[in-house]
Amino acid sequence: MVAVKEFTWEEIAAPDFGNPARATWRAAVAEVAATAKATLPECNGRVDSAVKIVLAGDVELLDGGKAKVASQSNGSTAYFVVNGECSCKDYRKAPQGFCKHRLAYGIHNASR
Beta bridge partners of 86: 81
Which uninterrupted H or E stretch holds 96? none
What span, in angstroms and rounded, lies between the C-alpha atoms of 111 and 24? 10
Report if residue 93 sits inside a domain.
yes
Instruction: Identify whether 6 is part of a domain.
Output: no
Query: What is the total count of domains within the chain?
Result: 1
Q: How many residues does the chain have?
A: 112
Residue 66 — φ and ψ, nearest 5°? -100, 165
Q: Answer whether residue 40 is part of any domain.
A: yes
Q: Is residue 10 in some structural domain?
A: no
Question: Quick check: is 2 in a domain?
Answer: no
How far does Cα 75 stand from its chain's mean position?
17
- Which of 6, 84, 99, 95 is closest to 53 using CA atoms? 99
pLDDT at 22: 85
Whole-angstrom distance, CA of residue 107 vs CA of residue 36: 8
5 lies in some domain: no
Whether 74 is covered by a domain: the verdict is yes
Domain range for 85: 18-110
Residue 111 in contact with residue 53, Cβ under 8 Å? no
Per-residue pLDDT of the chain (112 residues; tens, 9 = 90+): 444 566 666 665 656 667 788 889 999 999 999 999 999 999 999 999 999 999 999 999 999 999 999 999 887 899 999 999 999 999 999 999 999 999 999 999 998 8
